[in-house]
Copies of this chain bind each other. A is one copy, B any other.
Amino acid sequence: MRVFLVGAGPGDPGLITARGLELVRCCDVLVHDRLVSRELVTEAPPGALRIDRDRLGQHEIEQLLVRYARLGLRVVRLKGGDPFVFGRGGEEAVALSAAGVPFEVVPGVSSFAAVPAAAGIPVTHRGISSQVTIVSGHDADALDLAAVARAPGTLVVFMGLGSLREIADGLIRHGRAADTPAAVIASGTLPEQRTVVAPLGELADAAAGLEPPALVVVGEVVALAGTLALHEFAGALAA
Q: Which residues of A contact B (CB under 8 A)?
A: 7, 9-10, 12-19, 21-22, 82-91, 93-94, 97, 102-110, 112-114, 116-118, 122-126, 130-136, 139, 142, 144, 147-148, 150-152, 221, 224, 227-229, 231-232, 234, 237-238
Contacts and interface: CB of A to CB of B under 8 A. Distances in A.
Interface of A is mostly: mixed
A157 to B, nearest CB: 10
Nearest first, the 10 closest Cβ-Cβ pairs linking A and B are: A14-B19, A90-B122, A107-B114, A84-B122, A90-B125, A132-B134, A19-B234, A22-B238, A131-B135, A93-B228
Give the oligomeric copy count: 2
Nearest to A102: B229
Given A84-B117, A91-B125, A229 B144 contact: no
Nearest to A90: B122
A21 B234 CA distance: 12
Given A94-B228, A113-B85, A147 B152 contact: yes
Nearest to A16: B18
Contacts of A104: 229, 231-232
Contact of A107 (B10, B102, B237, B238): B10
Contacts of A87: 124
B84 A105 contact: no
22 contacts: A14-B17, A19-B234, A82-B109, A82-B113, A82-B114, A82-B117, A84-B123, A84-B124, A90-B122, A90-B221, A90-B224, A94-B224, A94-B228, A104-B231, A107-B114, A109-B109, A109-B110, A130-B139, A131-B135, A131-B144, A131-B148, A148-B151
A108 B108 CA distance: 8
B228 A90 contact: yes
Nearest to A121: B84
Nearest to A232: B104
Contacts of A108: 109
A62 B69 CA distance: 49
Q: Among the interface residues A85, A134, A228, A237, which one has the most CB atoms of the partner chain B within 10 A?
A: A134
A94 to B, nearest CB: 6
Contacts of A109: 7, 17, 82, 107-110
B17 A15 contact: yes
